[in-house]
């Protein structure tokens, strides 16, 4: 083992895990991560890190494991002996959680508990980060949500995240473990999963610009979210674990916008009107919706010196540009600059 700090990430193959792995490697960490076995490659977002071999070994070290499998978690913790654990692994799609509540709870709620118990049993002074979500606020009880706002979860996913959040608080209070919760509002990027609404829109905009698609089918356009830029949010995760005492932090931009506004911006960026391409499909409606999320991240700004920088308009443009490139188009010639 080297003298560098060691981090272990669950969920490294996802959007946030890939940005976090890059950030920690750049900060000089020895980075390890848990990946699940699947019949196709799931490592596309981190392939560049895994292939990158340094003097000290690989930039990113991968271990098979699963939040559903206690033995694999115990084994990887024993092998890696991490200083910091970032628990990002989750069935993270809210709509899917209505169809698979048991699996979602197993991965998100029980998975977090398994990992916390496995860390506790190592007896080592590990710092633990839990990837909490603004979905926990659900049917919001105040117009701006902060660390004191009551949770009112509206989906099996959000209920499982509340369990995980409380489990982290419990391990902190009962066993004196260093467990910190991030309560992150929506954050997006070109690496966002294609089934989440922002990426679904920007990918469709690029395909429509390329003449490969005409229409985009969406559900509720009125829902409002506080949308930030993912690379900035993983920086907040790291800062949360560098505090002398474990604590919980809301991470958000402080602005809220509707799905319709995002679609309007994304289509306008290539000189099109969203109304000509977007069709309504009731299958994308959820049994219970979260109508409005808007975060108050003033504690993060004060304590972590963290503040969101990328604007809503820039976020849409960054994502459209990346999807245009993926379609073989040059954003400079396709995108409008007015």
Residues that bind ligand NAP (CB under 6 A): 10-17, 34, 36, 38, 42, 66-68, 88-92, 107, 111, 131, 133, 184, 186-187, 193
Would you call 135 a catalytic residue per the annotation?
yes
Q: Which of residues 185-244 bind ligand GDD (CB under 6 A)?
A: 185-186, 195-197, 200, 218-220, 223, 225
Which of 135, 188, 232, 261 is an active site residue?
A: 135
- In the complex with ligand NAP, the residue whose CB is nearer, 77 or 107, is 107
Q: Which of residues 30-69 bind ligand GDD (CB under 6 A)?
A: none
- As measured in angstroms, the least distance from the Cβ of 46 to ligand NAP is 9
94 binds, among ligand GDD, ligand NAP, none (CB under 5 to 8 A by kind): ligand GDD
Would you call 157 a catalytic residue per the annotation?
yes
Q: Give the nearest residue (CB) to ligand NAP.
A: 14
Q: How far apart are alpha carbons 296 and 285 in whole angstroms?
A: 27
- As measured in angstroms, the least distance from the Cβ of 122 to ligand NAP is 19
Which of 72, 97, 133, 269 is an active site residue?
A: 133
Number of residues that bind ligand GDD (CB under 6 A): 22
Write the CA distances from 139 to 34, 221, 244, 293, 319, integer angstroms. Answer: 33, 17, 33, 9, 29
Q: Which stretch binds ligand GDD (CB under 6 A): 79-87, 114-122, 141-149, 286-294?
A: 286-294
Interacting residues of 117 by C-beta distance below 8 A, sequence separation 6+: 70
* CB 36 within 8 Å of CB 64: yes
Q: Is 94 in the site for ligand GDD (CB under 6 A)?
A: yes
Would you call 133 a catalytic residue per the annotation?
yes
Q: Give me the sign of the Cα torsion angle 274, 275, 281, 282.
A: positive
Burial bucket for residue 326 (CB in 10 Å: 0-12, 13-18, 19+): middle
Q: What number of CA atoms fall less than 13 Å from residue 226's CA on the CB side?
A: 26
Q: Which residues pair with 63 in a beta bridge?
A: 34
- As measured in angstroms, the least distance from the Cβ of 239 to ligand GDD is 19
- As measured in angstroms, the least distance from the Cβ of 221 to ligand GDD is 6
* CB 105 within 8 Å of CB 98: no
Q: How far apart are alpha carbons 14 and 237 in whole angstroms?
A: 15
Q: How far apart are alpha carbons 155 and 109 in whole angstroms?
A: 13
- In the complex with ligand GDD, the residue whose CB is nearer, 43 or 186, is 186
Indicate which residues carry an active-site annotation: 133, 135, 157
């Amino acid at each position: 083992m080297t003298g560098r700090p060691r981090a272990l990430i669950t969920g490294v193959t996802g959007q946030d895990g890939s940005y976090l792995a890059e950030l920690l490697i750049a900060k000089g960490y020895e980075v390890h991560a848990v990946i699940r076995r699947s019949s196709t490659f799931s490592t596309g977002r981190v392939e560049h890190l895994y292939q990158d071999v340094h003097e000290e070994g690989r930039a990113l070290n991968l271990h098979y494991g699963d939040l559903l499998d206690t033995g694999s978690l115990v084994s990887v913790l024993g092998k890696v002996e991490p200083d910091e654990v970032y628990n990002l692994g989750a069935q993270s799609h809210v709509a899917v959680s209505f169809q698979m509540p048991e699996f979602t709870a197993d991965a998100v709620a029980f998975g977090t508990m398994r990992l916390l118990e496995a860390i506790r049993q190592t007896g080592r002074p590990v710092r633990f980060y839990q990837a909490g979500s603004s979905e926990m606020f659900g049917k919001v009880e105040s117009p701006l949500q902060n660390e004191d706002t009551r949770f009112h979860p509206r989906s099996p996913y959000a209920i499982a995240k509340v369990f995980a959040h409380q489990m982290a608080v419990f391990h902190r209070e009962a066993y004196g473990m260093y467990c910190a919760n991030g309560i992150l509002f929506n954050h997006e990027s070109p690496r966002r999963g294609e089934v989440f609404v922002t990426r679904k829109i920007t990918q469709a905009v690029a395909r429509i610009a390329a003449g490969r698609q005409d229409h985009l089918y969406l559900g509720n356009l009125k829902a409002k979210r506080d949308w930030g830029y993912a690379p900035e949010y993983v920086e907040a995760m790291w800062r949360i674990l560098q505090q002398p005492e474990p604590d919980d932090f809301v991470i958000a931009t402080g602005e809220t916008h509707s799905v319709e506004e995002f679609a309007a911006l994304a289509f306008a960026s290539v000189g099109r009107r969203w109304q000509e391409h977007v069709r309504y499909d009731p299958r994308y409606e959820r049994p219970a919706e979260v109508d409005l999320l808007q975060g108050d991240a003033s504690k993060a700004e004060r304590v972590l010196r963290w503040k969101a920088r990328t604007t809503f308009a820039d976020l849409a443009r960054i994502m459209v540009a990346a999807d245009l490139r993926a379609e073989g188009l040059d954003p400079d010639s396709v995108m409008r600059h007015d």
